[in-house]
Structure 1
Amino acid sequence: MRHDDVTHLHGMHVVHYGPLQAPPLVLIHGSGLSGGSWSPVVPTLADQYHVIRVDLPGHGQSSPAPSYDVPEQASRLAAVLDELGLRPVTVVGHSSGGYIATALAEQRPDLVGSLALISSGPSPDALLPQPVLLRMLIAPPLGPLLWSIRSDAMLRRGVTAVCNRPVDVPDDLVAEVRGIGYRTFRKVLRRNTAYIAERSVSERLTALDVPVLVIFGAADRRWDPSSAHHYDTVPNARVEQLPDVGHLPMFEAPEATSELLLAFAAAGR
């Protein structure tokens, strides 16, 4: 996997892959992860697209932000894309990264040509009871203490707790996951919940005139897999469920995930 360019724009760490003259495809990770969470699918995508991978504020190698409101993060990403001179782009968001992708399309329809959401729960009532380790890491009173003493093994278990298939978490992703602070993570989770509580993602997408691909693991352990069908009512939306796959399709089924994204992006050209 070749880095064509690495930049730091508007406080966000941005990495480019593939031919810069190719159609742009933007990858947005989920809460608590980083741009490194896309590593299994980037090589295939970068064969045909100019792939732009970002670290969201407070994650990976990006700077903290004064606000983690979803619309504010989308606005910051829009500023990055404006500075890069990229439009229209195919935007792909994983989990809560799908909320930022949706907010970007709401704010700047001129920037977003098509929109793909992977494992993005549509509303708060679709959230499943979370694995014990994640609950302990996130919630007081043990959360701050456990967060401060997290080992690499604990971080790997935290990432894989929402997977249904065996996953090998690379060292560089573990290092980037370690970078997010406890208070930042709690703020991000609260602001994500506020965004989908105010209006569900499927309702938001229905109001947009943009092609949508929804990919959901049929064995997602974070969001109720049946909630993927909430997106069936969205015009111009296609819903794909991956059998036996949990919350991280990029790691659990990279080939299938890449194929779906490539076909979707090609249809939007």
Structure 2
Amino acid sequence: MRKSINNGNITWLDEGKGATIVLIHGFSENATIWDKQTTLLKEHYRLIVPDLPGTASSPLHTPLTIESMAEYVYAILLAENISEAVVIGHSMGGYIALALAEKYPSLIKGLGLFHSTAKADSEEKKEGRRKSIKLMEQYGADTFLRQTLPNMFSPATKENRNELVEAYVKMGIECQLPALVAYYEAMAARPDRTAVLTALKVPVLFMIGKDDNAVPLENVLPQITLPRISSIHIFENVGHMGMWEIPAKSNVILEQFIAFCQL
């Protein structure tokens, strides 16, 4: 069931019953990125899946920051009277989950970083985001996304399952230029949150693709020992899109992690 508050300015999908799981999508995505997960998990849990500002039917709110998007998610949980949840974020969604955990640690029953990192952008990464914004503004978001988004998948996926790449690009180009620019600026401005991982008392899940160009293995590995309890999964022939590239394996891991967080 799709819900909204604040005159439709905050929208989300609410499915299933049981302990609450929050799934937060990433850059150029929307709530449907998690469809393969919600279909399974809603049989045992309640799924809250936001459409972040500027995606799907949710209008863009400016200025936009990682922190403001964390507050957006928190507003949904308040509206639903949810006091604790396992929060899992993909890529930019992981940055939002970390910001939520930093400000509202008692809310977090478990934290999942799905191809994401607690580190801030390096100067090189920030410069890359600035160049990407210029390219989108000069040549259009569609052209940029058609060239960039395929790189989110492993070479094996691009060669053997191109329909996934095409579906992901189709989703991406539905996101408007102002939102894409705002996301890049928000990601570039975010602080380092590795201290959040150290402070958390709940389990933390790390999902890592060996072929991930957006959040490389070497970026994440130093972080896996920071939490008190870590669940670490590294996949061959997987890029930045494990929820699509290996949905069955991803779902098993998510189910096991979520069940562990309920103990």
- Normalised to the residue count of structure 2, the TM-score between the two structures is 0.85
Tell me how far 1:83 sits from its aligned partner: 0.7
Alignment partner, residue 67 of structure 2: 71
Report the AA paired with residue 262 of structure 1. E
| 1:180 aligns to 2:175 (yes or no) | yes
- Helix, strand or coil for the counterpart of 1:228? helix
Tell me how far 1:9 sits from its aligned partner: 2.6
| Counterpart pick for 2:5 among 5, 9, 18 | 9
CA–CA distance in structure 1, aligned partners of residues 175 and 65 of structure 2: 16
Question: Deviations along 1:96-119, whole A, 9 cap, x unmatched?
Answer: 100111111111123221110101
Alignment partner, residue 268 of structure 1: 261
Identity of aligned residues (%): 25
CA–CA distance in structure 2, aligned partners of residues 190 and 129 of structure 1: 9
Question: Deviations along 1:19-45, whole A, 9 cap, x unmatched?
Answer: x3x111111001111111112222122
| Counterpart pick for 2:184 among 189, 194, 218 | 189
Report the AA paired with residue 51 of structure 1. L
Question: Deviations along 1:42-92, whole A, 9 cap, x unmatched?
Answer: 212222211111111112221111221111111121111011112311111
Conserved 8 A contact 1:23-1:89: yes
CA–CA distance in structure 2, aligned partners of residues 182 and 174 of structure 1: 14
Alignment partner, residue 28 of structure 1: 24
| 1:222 aligns to 2:214 (yes or no) | yes
> Which residues of structure 2 form unaligned runs of 5+?
none
Alignment partner, residue 203 of structure 1: 195
For residues 135-154 of structure 1, what are the structure 2 equivalents within 5 Å? 138-140=132-134, 142-147=135-140, 150=142
Structure 1 residues 54 and 229: CA distance shift in structure 2, 3 A:
same
CA–CA distance in structure 1, aligned partners of residues 97 and 149 of structure 2: 22
| Counterpart pick for 2:241 among 248, 252, 258 | 248
CA–CA distance in structure 1, aligned partners of residues 20 and 88 of structure 2: 11
| 1:109 aligns to 2:105 (yes or no) | yes
For these two proteins, the number of residue pairs brought into alignment is 253
Structure 1 residues 121 and 232: CA distance shift in structure 2, 3 A:
closer
Conserved 8 A contact 2:95-2:118: no
| 1:49 aligns to 2:48 (yes or no) | no
CA–CA distance in structure 1, aligned partners of residues 41 and 108 of structure 2: 18
| Counterpart pick for 2:223 among 227, 231, 234 | 231
Bigger helix fraction? 2
CA–CA distance in structure 1, aligned partners of residues 127 and 46 of structure 2: 35
Report the AA paired with residue 98 of structure 1. G
Tell me how far 1:126 sits from its aligned partner: 10
Report the AA paired with residue 255 of structure 1. A
- Helix, strand or coil for the counterpart of 1:161? helix
CA–CA distance in structure 2, aligned partners of residues 176 and 190 of structure 1: 21
Alignment partner, residue 100 of structure 1: 96
CA RMSD, 1 decimal: 2.8
> Which residues of structure 1 form unaligned runs of 5+?
none
Query: Which of 9-18 and 48-57 deviates more?
Result: 9-18
